[in-house]
Amino acid sequence: MITQAIIPLAGLGTRMLPFSKVIPKELLPLGNVSILERILLECEDAGIKKIYLIISKKKEIIKKYFQDDLFLESKVKNQKSLIKKLNLLKKFKKKIKFIYQDTPKGLGDAVYKCRKLINSQHFLLILPDDIIINKNCSKQLIDIYKKKISSVIAVKNVKKNMVSRYGIAGYVKKKSNVLNINYLVEKPSLKLAPSTFAIIGRYILNKTIFKYLASSKKGKLGEIQITDALNKMLNDGEIFSGCVFSGKYLDCGTLNGYVKSLKLIGGR
């Protein structure tokens, strides 16, 4: 059973500057809820019971977003639709635990902060920049996990001229929507890319990853990423399935992508 999810939010969000100086990109609205609430709704619908939100001191406003505000509640107590929205936050609050990453040392380091909290063999990792609408992507990964009892990574076939923007998954076999992954590479040139299947921010991972992250070295940007650890796990025999998910992918990590997503979603 996959019941625990890690959602790292402690990155600097430099691609969303200057807005991200004061507003975490995850709290920006996308339709009638914030980006983060969309992710939490996806978790809830996928049967997740405990959610670890990794934040930093600079992003404590995320914590505040989920705190009760009795004064405001009393002001809108007769407006049912607003009370419903505030109640949704209260509901999420019960499932959330905030974990701190004091310095942004990379996604791998952020995930490592949860090493003592994961108590089943596999857990869900969601990167909130990647929004998938119309279908629950986490649920699709969990369905594959139930059949394979392996690690699962969401992948999307991208155009050749886009491979250098993504992590890319090499594979040995593809059956229906499932790849048998044998190699992962970060932002390769087209020449070096093992396929055109891009890694999108949904993973089901074996908690053995913590052992690999413990010995991971800093990469090019001085950050600990997760790709090296995942490749080492692959080399040691861990099975990784790629889930070619259905649903529409929206990139909410850049201003351009966010504005496009906002236009597409409208008030939904």
**Residues contributing to the site for ligand UTP (CB under 6 A):** 8-15, 54, 101, 104-107, 109-110, 127-129, 253
Question: Which residue, among 262, 227, 230, has the nearest Cα to 32 in the 3D structure?
Answer: 262
User: Minimum CB separation from ligand UTP for residue 94, in Å?
Assistant: 23
Helix (H) or strand (E) segment spanning residue 255: helix 255-265
Residue with CB nearest ligand UTP? 11
User: Minimum CB separation from ligand UTP for residue 227, in Å?
Assistant: 11
> What one-letter code names the amino acid at 34?
S
Q: Which is nearer to ligand UTP, 8 or 242 (CB)?
A: 8
What is the 3-class SS of 105-167, one letter each residue? CCHHHHHHCCCCCCCCCEEEEECCCEEEECCCHHHHHHHHHHHHCCEEEEEEECCHHHHHHCE
User: Minimum CB separation from ligand UTP for residue 51, in Å?
Assistant: 14
Question: Which residue, among 141, 138, 128, has the nearest Cα to 53 in the 3D structure?
Answer: 128
Q: Which is nearer to ligand UTP, 178 or 229 (CB)?
A: 229
Q: Which is nearer to ligand UTP, 105 or 232 (CB)?
A: 105
Q: Is the peptide bond before 104 cis (omega within 30 degrees of 0)?
A: no
User: Minimum CB separation from ligand UTP for residue 255, in Å?
Assistant: 10
Q: Which is nearer to ligand UTP, 9 or 168 (CB)?
A: 9
Q: Left, alpha or beta for 121 (phi > 0: left; psi -120 to 50: alpha)?
A: alpha
User: Minimum CB separation from ligand UTP for residue 49, in Å?
Assistant: 21
Q: Which is nearer to ligand UTP, 178 or 250 (CB)?
A: 250
